[in-house]
Each structure stands twice: as structure tokens, then as C-alpha cells.
Amino acid sequence: MSGIPRSPLSRRHLLKRGLALAACAWTLRPNRAWARESRAGPGLAGAPEVTRWALLSDTHIAADPQDHYRNFYPTRNLQEVIARIACDPPDGLVIAGDLARLKGKTEDYQNLRTLLTPIARRPVYLGLGNHDDRGGFFRTFGDICHHPGTLENKHVTLAQAGPVRMIVLDTLLKVNGLLGRLGDSQRTWLETVLQSCDDTPTILFLHHTLYGDLLDRRQLLEIIKPQGKIKAVVYGHSHQYEHSEVAGIHLLNLPSTGYTIWSGAPVGWVDAKLTARGGEFTLHALEGDRTLDGHTHTCLWRT
């Protein structure tokens, strides 16, 4: 599917639809999208409001629970991750793409939805990556994630999470391909939203890295660098765990929850505590390289 709408959309129309977006939040009970009590760690002491989120990527769930790759079993891994998260539920969960194993079959997403059931009382925001398919995704999650007309042929999420704003973008270009692209319409939508919203600290989520896998990364950086409200960009795709910065914007490359393709990479997820001042990101490594299991990376937002 192309990321370009069949007919041009005005910036005013894009903004109206974008700001009206209720977000792809899977909640079966009233939304507890943030925690008002102070739960800040040492690096964020004194922060008035903290929201805690579980950040995952590259779950690669197949219809067959026994599907495996390099002796990693993605369904088993996600079952364990969700069980641990459910013991101490965060305020919500984000999965940054590659939800499905390879080609985004409807049956893959049905298995994923079942696996997420134990945390269905919390908001769950789902991004799309190169191993996803919008058809299979919307056939399974369309009742809770589909907002017709928001942005044709792209799945985007705009959500307020206490002291921060989250924007989940769609970089799916070709199913089971490698590269990703936002596309003109999605970049226009993003730019319009950023120019019109307030200065709430904002975190972008997408699937592809900003190193070389996102074809329009240069255009994205041109949009977000001048926007001081953009504090961090979180992505997956590489199946590695890394922290870096560009123009004061924190970049967080999430580990894969499904499997690793690098000997020095962990398999797991990140527990994030976010405030208006910064974030604490703690790695939970299940398999692979567990050297940094439990390690917390603290960063302060640019001003």
C-alpha cells in the first residue's frame, strides 16, 4: 500500500483529524493512562508526575506458538514478558512494529491479541513495521485501533500519557521487505500536529532506525530537530539495544522481544519512567546477551 492519499489533504484537515484521534488504545476498563503519584527514581527526584510504560519491539509473533528462529521462541518470550508486566502493571505498553512473524498474516495477529489479554486493562499502542501487513492487522485490531480517514494507508497514534505526549508512526513500506518510509502525507501530518500542539514533552515511536533503514530519515530530522518539544525517538528493527543522541534528541533502539540476530544483543523489553524533565529506561533481558539486564539509563530532556 502506498503512503500517499488518493486525494490531497489540506494542512487544516490533517490537523483536525490528527488532533481528534483518540489513539489506538486497547482498554477494556476506564483508561489509567498515567500515574499521578510520584514514583520517580533517583535521577528524576522531585518530579511532580511520572508515567511508567513498557516498551517492546519486534515481537514477531506467528500463528503457530511453536514457531522459532535461532532457537528463540517468540510466543514463549512474549508470554513471559506479559506475565512479568502483569505482576506490576505499568500505565501502558507500546510495541514499536514487527508485531507479526514475517508477512503479517491475520492468524499471527490473532495470536498476538490473545497474548496481550492479561494487560488488556491498560492502553496498548501498536506500531507497524516491515514484517506487518495493514490488512491482517486491521482485520484483527480494527475494532480498537482503526480510525478511518485519519491518515489514509497509514496507521498513526497520538496520545497523551500524563506528563508526556506519545506519537506512534507507521514506517511500513513493503510487507516482508527491509526498508521503511514515512511518506509525504505522514510527514505533513506530523509537522502540522507538532506546529499546532502545545510544548508538552513529546516522544516519537517508529519501527525503523534513523541510521540507514528509514528512507526519509533526513526529512524526519528536518521536521523534529527545530521542535524543542521532541525529546526522544524510540524505535526497533535492528534487534539491538542502544542509546544515542542527535541534536539533543535522545534515541533509544529497543531490543527485540522475539529473537536476536546478533550475539551481543539482548532479547527483552524496556521499562520506562517518564516525566516532563526526563526519563529512566531499564532493560529487562530474558535471553541473548543478559549483561545489561537491570541496567537503567537516565536522560534529561533537552531545553
Q: For the chain, give the number of residues.
A: 303
**How much is the pLDDT for 45?**
56
Please state the pTM of the whole predicted model: 0.86
Q: Which three cell numbers stand for residue 55?
A: 516498551
pLDDT digits (tens, 9 = 90+) for 68-78: 999 999 999 99
**Cα 233 to chain centroid, rounded:** 9
**Cα 152 to chain centroid, rounded:** 20
Residue 190 contacts residue 15 (beta carbons within 8 Å) = no
Only one residue has cell 512479568, namely 84
Residue 202 contacts residue 165 (beta carbons within 8 Å) = yes
> Residue 143 — very low, low, confident or very high, per pLDDT cuts 50/70/90?
confident
Residue 111 contacts residue 63 (beta carbons within 8 Å) = yes
pLDDT digits (tens, 9 = 90+) for 75-95: 999 999 999 999 999 999 999
pLDDT digits (tens, 9 = 90+) for 183-230: 999 999 999 999 999 999 999 999 999 988 999 999 999 999 999 999
> Residue 144 — very low, low, confident or very high, per pLDDT cuts 50/70/90?
confident
Task: Return the CA Rg of the chain.
Answer: 18
Residue 12 contacts residue 239 (beta carbons within 8 Å) = no
41 vs 248 pLDDT, higher one: 248
Domain boundaries, the chain: 11-300
Residue 53 contacts residue 34 (beta carbons within 8 Å) = no
In the predicted model, what is the mean pLDDT of the chain?
87
Which CATH architecture fits 11-300?
A: 4-Layer Sandwich (3.60)
Helix, strand, or coil (residue 4) = coil
Q: What is the mean pLDDT of residues 129-158?
A: 86
Residue 40 has pLDDT above 80, yes or no: no
